[in-house]
């Protein structure tokens, strides 16, 4: 990445030139841009220095998500870990990767690049959905960077997928993204589209706090203004589908069996994207696994039930630290 590219991307990030000013409260969370090989990553962490000396934690979001998905759980873990959440290349406030690689391995290399650039490893690594697949591959290939693994509805191969996940998988089908681009950008349609997405990932979308829903609408509207948003979403969806078909040492389930770090698995019984039936296979695959099942939760348990997830994480960390 050239100096000019870095300066342009950085200027857009801080001026709102990529779709508007960052609405996240500056007094609670600080966001900065970190250069890694082939990408610029937006990374969010606490503003206070009170977390200095605590164990390091890194949070990786899922398809279509951002670091903002983790703020409730990060709040639950204040005083326990020094947590940071990053935006994968092309998501949130991170521009797309220079080489256009949006595969699971491409996203994993960006996360490794951040850990190495920031010298924060090994960390307690968290992953949701796509971020869960990224975290599994990272823990298998770079065990030196991972102290523990918390996987919330990880996108591990599930065949056949449950029928409610088929529209998301369809993003990888040629022609479908072109149809999605026809969604008009007026305020009402943006709100309707946002409601549809929230209903897909939440177990009970009616219980979403008003401020969280308004934030989601604003973010959806901002993403519609980014020329690369659909390309990144489609490319990453295709990356997941491709990872599901990989064999040999690259197979995600085989890599799960290689993970030596203790693992906390979190599944929601109302998850429309990752079926609970994957939980039994995951528990059997990982060498040192424990399971948390949330009957009322959907695909984003860290947002729906952060207190319960936080309690399970604290128990895991007590085991890890002795």
Going residue by residue through the chain, which has 322 residues, state the pLDDT in tens, using 9 for 90 and above. 443 344 334 333 333 334 444 444 556 678 999 999 999 999 998 776 656 788 999 999 999 999 999 999 999 999 999 999 999 999 999 999 999 999 999 999 999 999 999 988 899 999 999 999 999 999 999 999 999 999 999 999 986 555 554 455 444 444 434 434 445 544 558 898 899 899 999 999 999 999 999 999 999 999 989 999 999 999 999 999 899 889 998 999 999 999 999 999 999 999 999 988 899 999 999 999 999 999 999 999 999 999 999 999 999 999 988 7
Domain total in the chain? 1
The pLDDT of residue 159 is 66
Structure tokens, 89: 């290349």
Strand order in the sheet with 123-128: 29-36, 39-46, 82-86, 56-60, 123-128, 146-152, 263-268, 289-294
Structure tokens, 197: 């997405």
The pLDDT of residue 257 is 97
Q: Where are the alpha helices (DSSP H) in the chain?
A: 3-15, 71-76, 104-118, 130-141, 166-169, 176-180, 187-201, 210-224, 229-244, 252-258, 278-285, 301-304, 306-321
Distance CA 147, CA 144 (A): 8
Distance CA 137, CA 50 (A): 32
Backbone Cα Rg of the chain: 18
What's the CATH number where 54 sits?
Answer: 3.40.50.1820
Could you list the residue range(s) of the whole structural domain that residue 89 is in?
3-321
In the three-class reduction of DSSP (H, G, I as helix; E, B as strand; rest coil), residue 48 is classed as coil
Distance CA 108, CA 131 (A): 9
The pLDDT of residue 130 is 96
Structure tokens, 287: 């060498």
Structure tokens, 205: 């979308």
């Amino acid at each position: 990445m050239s100096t000019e590219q870095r300066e342009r991307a950085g200027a857009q990030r801080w001026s709102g030139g990529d779709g508007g000013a960052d609405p996240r409260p500056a007094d609670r969370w600080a966001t900065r841009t970190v250069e890694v090989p082939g990408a610029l990553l937006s990374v969010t962490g606490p503003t206070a220095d009170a977390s200095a000396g605590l164990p390091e934690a890194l949070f990786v979001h899922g398809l279509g998500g951002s670091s903002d998905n983790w703020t409730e759980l990060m709040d639950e873990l204040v005083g326990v870990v020094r947590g940071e959440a990053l935006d994968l290349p092309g998501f949130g406030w991170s521009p797309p990767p220079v080489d256009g690689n949006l595969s699971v391995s491409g996203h994993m290399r960006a996360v490794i690049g951040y850990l190495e650039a920031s010298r924060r490893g090994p960390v307690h690594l968290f992953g949701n959905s796509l971020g869960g697949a990224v975290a599994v591959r990272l823990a298998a290939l770079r065990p030196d960077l991972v102290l523990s693994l918390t996987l919330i509805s990880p996108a591990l191969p599930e065949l056949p997928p449950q029928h409610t996940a088929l529209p998301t998988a369809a993003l990888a089908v040629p022609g479908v993204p072109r149809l999605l681009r026809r969604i008009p950008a007026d305020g009402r349609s943006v709100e309707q589209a946002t409601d549809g997405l929230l209903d897909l990932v939440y177990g009970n979308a009616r219980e979403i706090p008003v401020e969280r829903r308004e934030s989601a609408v604003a973010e959806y509207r901002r993403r519609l203004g980014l020329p690369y948003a659909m390309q990144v979403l489609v490319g990453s969806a295709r990356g997941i589908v491709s990872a599901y078909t990989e064999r040999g040492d690259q197979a995600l389930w085989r890599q799960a069996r290689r993970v030596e770090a203790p693992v906390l698995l979190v599944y929601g019984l109302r998850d429309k994207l990752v079926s609970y039936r994957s939980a039994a296979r995951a528990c059997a695959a990982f060498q040192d696994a424990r399971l948390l099942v949330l009957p009322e939760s959907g695909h984003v348990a860290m947002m729906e039930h952060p207190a319960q997830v936080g309690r399970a994480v604290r128990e895991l960390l007590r085991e890890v630290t002795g």
